[in-house]
Structure 1
Amino acid sequence: MTKFPYDQFAKEYLQELLSPPGEVETSKNVTAEVREIDVGFQPTSFEGEYVQSWGLLGKMAATVAIIEPFRNPVTAEGIFSCVVKLLNSRAELERRANRQDQRFEERQLPMLWILTPTASEALLNSFGFRTPEESEGWGRGVYFLSEVWRVGLIAIHQLARTPEIMWLRMLGRGRVQQGAITELTAFPVNAPLRANALQLLYTLQANLQANTPTNPTMDDEDQELVMASVPLFQQHLQEARLQGLEQSLERGIERGIEEGREKDSD
């Protein structure tokens, strides 16, 4: 039984989304007082089409990154903890470069991305998060500390309701997440990662229900998520059945044509 279903879902979900343009490692320990990075990302190729079609997520995939998704709104303590992971990672990279007698380059440094369902103005102001210029193309809901820190925060509830940003809104809460799930149903059956996202949502739903006996007070958002996921997965199963029937029909037609040719040759 999965103890923290949302954490597991977020890690596997981000791993699925970010695997095309790079290498993804989840639950990675960093040195010092051992702290676990939720998702580490290393781009292996710069795919222009991926960056363009995936919008905000594509821009995030352009650099080495540490991604820390939060199910509940991030607190000041949570931000501090994430920054410590970033600094520990930087120190580890510097030590590795020294051991190998190599020059440490700034481009090797990861970008820290904090994903939070909501973020209050007071919290953002207390850390000095800034809104990027419109010309930078990040869109609303994205905030940064000063450039030297390499820290970005995404307030998911503020993100635009566009198809390419739907994938990040899937990690929101309540109506934001439910809206993203609804939008996923409108995607073409053969859309990249659609089937895998549905499977991960179904696994999340199953884990939430499996945890109910030990936590019988499943909150309203969890119940609504379960209810929203069930018809989605049923639709996915129906599509799979239809696809299987179509493939069987195609194979039958092909066999019939082949048998006809063999008879003609006789």
Structure 2
Amino acid sequence: MSTKPHDQFAKQFLEELLAPLGEVRTNQEVRDETRFVDVLFTPAPQAHDLNLGLLGRIALMNTALLEPFRNQPSATEIRNCFLKLFAVIANAQRKAKREKRRLAEDGLARLWIISPSVSETLLVNFEFKLDLENWPSGVYIFQKGFRGAIVAVNELPVTAETLWLRILGRGETQRQAVSELLALPESNSLRQNTLRLITNWRIISIQQTDNLTEDDRELIMNLSQAYQQWEETTIQQGVQQERRQVVENLLRYRFGSVDEEMSRVVDSLLRLSPEDFTPLCLQLTREELLSMF
């Protein structure tokens, strides 16, 4: 029971006015259902952007609730996302109160709804608006105090900055992003990790073919190009590894071991065909090989 005079008066006042119109319950406990945030991210104190572009900027602002949708969310789904945000903020505020510290407004969590597209009706109904001075096209900000935004993936500019969000799009938007992903240098760790993730996901999905929806099939189709390139690269790497093993075995047969100097010779020999490198390994002395390569 509240002990604050205003609260107590307000409850009694509203009860008195509303009682003739229906049932009024004061101090009624409300048990909300358990809610799960798709991705709740809290940046480390010293974290810095690892070339994630717009996604990195979003994540590093402060705690972020990321809610990606395969199809445009309904009004109810958007409201449910905000309920999750408010629950996260309330938990943070209770924790700060227990620890007797002040929680700044700018430190509160933010909600980022990621949608493949956003209709004009939805934008109007929720009053999402562009803020082109601070954010690129496609990022619509909700009223400031609510700390939420929706990202229309298909409206994002086609740049390296938005690549990692556009991969979550649909149709041509997603296919274009996958092509850009494949065009990144093979040494790019984000590229390799993403391709590995796509491959694992696709293998698992293919095993569940009977349960795939049309959305699932579209996603598999869009990601197939990435999977095929990964498969081809893996095969090539396997062949190259087998050839390296053959060369090293030949050199061990001749010289007993492959030290650091001979390892550099191996790299050079691998540029030759098996017909060319085999006689060299079997006929030349160690000194001749080192001199040649």
Judge same fold: TM > 0.5, yes or no.
yes
Q: What do the CA deviations read for 1:207-252 (whole angstroms, capped 9, x no partner)?
A: 3212212348676514523533431321441464477579877995
Determine whether 1:122 maps to 2:121.
yes
Work out whether residues 112 and 151 of structure 2, in 8 Å CA contact, stay in contact via their aligned partners in 1.
yes
SS across alignment from 2:60: coil
Tell me which amino acid in the other structure corresponds to 2:234.
L
TM-score, normalised by the number of residues in structure 1: 0.74
What runs of 5+ residues in structure 2 fail to find an aligned partner?
1-30, 249-256, 265-284, 288-293
What runs of 5+ residues in structure 1 fail to find an aligned partner?
1-30, 262-266
Task: For 2:129 and 2:161, locate their aligned partners in 1 and report how far apart those are by CA, in whole Å.
Answer: 23
Work out whether residues 94 and 104 of structure 1, in 8 Å CA contact, stay in contact via their aligned partners in 2.
yes
Greater relative CO, 1 or 2 (CA 8 Å, sep 6+): 1
Work out whether residues 73 and 116 of structure 1, in 8 Å CA contact, stay in contact via their aligned partners in 2.
yes
SS across alignment from 1:114: strand
Q: Per the alignment, do residues 204 and 245 of structure 1 end up closer, same or farther by CA in structure 2, a change over 3 Å counting?
A: same
Q: 1:62 aligned to 56, 60, 63, which one?
A: 60
Task: For 2:36 and 2:222, locate their aligned partners in 1 and report how far apart those are by CA, in whole Å.
Answer: 27
Compare 53-62 and 236-245 and name the one that shifted more. Answer: 236-245
Task: For 2:167 and 2:263, locate their aligned partners in 1 and report how far apart those are by CA, in whole Å.
Answer: 46
Q: What do the CA deviations read for 1:1-49 (whole angstroms, capped 9, x no partner)?
A: xxxxxxxxxxxxxxxxxxxxxxxxxxxxxx953111111111224566x
Tell me the equivalent position of 2:91: 92
Work out whether residues 198 and 227 of structure 2, in 8 Å CA contact, stay in contact via their aligned partners in 1.
no
Task: For 2:105 and 2:259, locate their aligned partners in 1 and report how far apart those are by CA, in whole Å.
Answer: 59
Determine whether 1:210 maps to 2:216.
no
Total equivalences in the alignment: 227
Tell me which amino acid in the other structure corresponds to 1:54.
L
Work out whether residues 142 and 153 of structure 1, in 8 Å CA contact, stay in contact via their aligned partners in 2.
yes
Q: Per the alignment, do residues 257 and 67 of structure 1 end up closer, same or farther by CA in structure 2, a change over 3 Å counting?
A: closer
Tell me the equivalent position of 1:37: 37
Task: For 1:40 and 1:177, locate their aligned partners in 2 and report how far apart those are by CA, in whole Å.
Answer: 24
Tell me the equivalent position of 2:273: none
SS across alignment from 1:57: helix
Task: For 1:220 and 1:99, locate their aligned partners in 2 and report how far apart those are by CA, in whole Å.
Answer: 49
Q: What do the CA deviations read for 1:131-152 (whole angstroms, capped 9, x no partner)?
A: 10x331x211000011111101
Work out whether residues 205 and 229 of structure 1, in 8 Å CA contact, stay in contact via their aligned partners in 2.
no
Q: Per the alignment, do residues 201 and 123 of structure 1 end up closer, same or farther by CA in structure 2, a change over 3 Å counting?
A: same
Task: For 1:243 and 1:193, locate their aligned partners in 2 and report how far apart those are by CA, in whole Å.
Answer: 23
Task: For 2:166 and 2:214, locate their aligned partners in 1 and report how far apart those are by CA, in whole Å.
Answer: 25
Work out whether residues 85 and 111 of structure 2, in 8 Å CA contact, stay in contact via their aligned partners in 1.
yes
Tell me which amino acid in the other structure corresponds to 1:82.
C
Task: For 2:145 and 2:238, locate their aligned partners in 1 and report how far apart those are by CA, in whole Å.
Answer: 52
Instruction: Select the structure of larger CA radius of gyration.
Output: 2
Tell me the equivalent position of 1:5: none
Task: For 1:260 and 1:228, locate their aligned partners in 2 and report how far apart those are by CA, in whole Å.
Answer: 45
SS across alignment from 2:112: strand
SS across alignment from 2:36: strand
Tell me which amino acid in the other structure corresponds to 2:59.
A
Work out whether residues 56 and 164 of structure 1, in 8 Å CA contact, stay in contact via their aligned partners in 2.
yes
TM-score, normalised by the number of residues in structure 2: 0.68
Compare 239-248 and 34-43 and name the one that shifted more. Answer: 239-248
SS across alignment from 1:61: helix
SS across alignment from 2:66: strand
Determine whether 1:254 maps to 2:268.
no
Tell me the equivalent position of 2:171: 174
Tell me the equivalent position of 1:22: none
Tell me which amino acid in the other structure corresponds to 1:39.
V
Q: Which has the higher strand share?
A: 1
Provide the alpha-carbon RMSD of the alignment. Answer: 3.1
